[in-house]
Structure 1
Amino acid sequence: MPDPHAPADPVALTAALIRCPSVTPMEGGALDLLAAQLAAAGFACTRVDRNGTPNLYARWGDKGHPRTFGFNGHTDVVPVGDAAAWTADPFGAEIRDGWMYGRGATDMKSGVAAFAAAAMDFVRDTPPDGAVVLAITGDEEGEATDGTRALLDWMARTGEAMAACLVGEPTCPETLGDMMKIGRRGSMTARFTARGVQGHSAYPHRAKNPVSAMARLMDRLAGHELDRGTDHFDTSTLAVTTIDTGNPANNVIPAECRATVNIRFNDAHSGASLTDWLRVESDRVAAETGVEIAMKVTVSGESFLTPPGPLSDLVAAAVRAETGVVPALSTSGGTSDARFVKDHCPVVEFGLVGKTMHQVDERVEVAQIAALKAIYLRILRGWFA
């Protein structure tokens, strides 16, 4: 039988999680595995599944305690892609030359294993006056509508709460410890459909060309300077990601053209303000060209910032103590579930080097898994000191 007094092994737990084929939206056994280990360590575990999406909430200590520290992460992973291109079994957790290979090795089964192991050791060795929460979803890589959102909704209904939260996503560009996230840019996608009048290309005056109108609109949007950055954020960006007509004929002006843009925006904007700007520009081009332009916008997350202060100081101090590196406070990168947690409590992100996430032969340096656990353990000790 395992020694109940032995430290939790985050490397073995990472390997066990990698062997669970939890490609979104499949649970793959990953949350069941975590629930069993956490329950044995004294955590009250609850499955908070919604619309078929698997989620796990684990708490040690009293519900709603004002001194509750939380961790958030996900066990779902992106698809393998071309399995033949891998040099290791994507779900085998093979260790080679000090690296563990497998889908989710970096993003982010190692992070979940590290904070779960740290939490189990902490409550066993130094039971705190407070509570420790692990909110883990199986829906971060997908639509994210019934993952961390579902956990937070359930927490609000049942009186569960976190006073602060750390998301264990990979945050470091080059070296463990070199970056933590104190915010994220917002993300939104706008899909445009331009409808004109089909006609012969030799008689363009008899048609209304939606392609020309769409090209004019895309040029205006892409050429517009949204801002020059803010105190904690880089400049906002707009990328035209596709322009499509589906027209196989070279002598036909089509009746319809579609285009999509993606905007990553800082705290100078909101999804609503950018939507208003996009609508003004599309209406202007429609008036100029006589082509009808419809727009559909999806905002997947607003920008947010956890101002530098006690939480970021605590995490930075723990990182420096364990690695000798002072992490940069960053808001770069894409989105994460921190965009949902920020509505519940102060949140920061810190995790491993993310160079290989989503790639063929995704892998994690084995020594860094133990180092990450040590950082998380030091954060817990500091929070409850």
Structure 2
Amino acid sequence: MTTAPDVFAPVSLGPIRLRNRTVKAATFEGRTPHGEVTDELIAYHVAPAAGGVGITTVAYLAVAPEGRTHREVIVVDDRTLPGLARLADAVHAEGAAISGQVGHAGPVANGRSNGAPAIAASPMPSPLSMQMVRSATEQDLTRVTRAYVDAARTLVRAGFDVLELHMAHSYLISSFLAPGLNRRKDRWGGPLERRARLARQVARAVREEVGDSCAVTAKVSVSDGFKGGVTTETGLELAQLLEADGHLDALQLSGGSSLMNPMYLFRGGAPVEEFAASMPAVVRWGMRTPVGRSFLKEYSFEEAYFREKALAFRAGLAMPLQLLGGINRVETMRQAMADGFDFVVMGRALLREPDLVRRLASGEAREGICIHCNRCMPTIYSGTVCVEWAAGERIPVAQN
């Protein structure tokens, strides 16, 4: 029997060296009102970096204007490069690595906000924009793949250590993977091997562009949590295809759908009223109807709630895996190592306590104090923050 690795000890992820095996998850920061890096965004990531995390992940970095979830999201290009480089430098100064979650939102994009029609595997109505999402053409998919490559090149120039390709949550690549969202009859639809074509094409193109200048990972789903979505079996089959291709350094195991069932990822309280209050009037009314309320289903919180499904991935894969979902205790982190996972990914726990990793590593704390109320979720539109914080505890603005 082998001894489980120390979650707080240095480790390699592909070509990069990290100070420990902890990852701050990509969570919307709400700090880019003009689609550019701000001092507030830098402070948001410097806090967990100074607090001991191995990697902090910037969310969400769009590869194309129509691939933004809404107009305030950063599009990676020459215009945003200087700010991204400043952000990377600030995180590195605290001893942490920086990852960029790179993706195209597909049907999760708000076409009305973006001023550009959203695209997906197949046509569908958008509850976000009240518009139709159109089916991506061959030309679109060639353009989007090229956009991933361009974004990867730019992020490497900016000094990013990790590129996390978004293949989950009903974003564009995920919409091709889910049979209920992909009704195509061409080479992009049908059996999984065809539905997975875009995921594999993007991973290959990005790796060929960046080589070993950074690590390349992908966020994949252990279950989308809705009928017609990616199942655990389908997710594992995709992961095995990606592993066989050999273009990725690790997979981050997530779940749920930003479009169809977001609370499958965010277990705990379902803040319907708070979410409704943060939305435009029409959406606010819709969320207060029975149908709207059913959108935010409530799932009981438990530690490491994706663990059982993730264990199927661990048994079926040899490549490094990152476990996500309700990790708050040092015992849970160590159990993940004993289970054979290579990294642990934390979101809400670090929003509540950016210095939690340092405190867990030193023995000062055994668990985080996040209560999983999810009232942080509606604040993504105004500046993501734990509402349990006192006013004086908010993350400060970085000083130049």
The interval holding the TM-score normalised by the smaller chain is under 0.3
More helix per residue: 2
More strand per residue: 1
Ranked by relative contact order (alpha carbons within 8 Å, sequence separation 6 or more), the top structure is 1
Compute the TM-score of the two structures, normalised by the length of structure 1. Answer: 0.26
